[in-house]
Amino acid sequence: MFFVSVENTEAIIFFLYLFKSNTWTYQFCLCLNTILFFLVDNPSSTRLFTDKVNAAVSGNGRIALSCVTDANPRPSQYQFYRDGVYLRTSLTGIHVIQKARYYDAGTYLCVPLNSLGVGTNSSVQVFVNGE
């Protein structure tokens, strides 16, 4: 990207460079004799966990799943799946089951996405007891 603006006979020049290594994407720009450097990447090191010990909830109980990841820019959405079936998209990375039933048990998967693409996913096994 190249941008030139002429105002009061002074030129403002903006260069933006983007390059990628094997694991990271880097951005830097030369702006008014200052170099700004940014590290950008799709989501990685994703973790999915629950607010219950051993991810076990009593029948009709509430359980919250939280998905966190390292990304820049931050994820714009998180997709949740149970046993490979798409459930919903969350903007916050949180999926709540208000009244757990036996069919809510299973393997939950979180897939974070940002403007650079899909990130690594993470899963957790949820158990529903006594329902």
Classify 107 as helix, strand or coil: strand
Residue 37 has what pLDDT?
59
Q: Domain limits of the chain?
A: 2-40, 42-129
Q: What pLDDT, in 10s, does the model give residues 72-91?
A: 899 999 999 999 999 999 99
Candidates 131, 123, 128; CA nearest to 82 is 123
Residue 81 has what pLDDT?
98
Classify 7 as helix, strand or coil: strand
> Taking 60 as the threshold, does the pLDDT of residue 54 lie above it?
yes
For residue 17 the two structure tokens come to: 């460079």
Has domain 42-129 been given CATH number 1.10.730.10? no
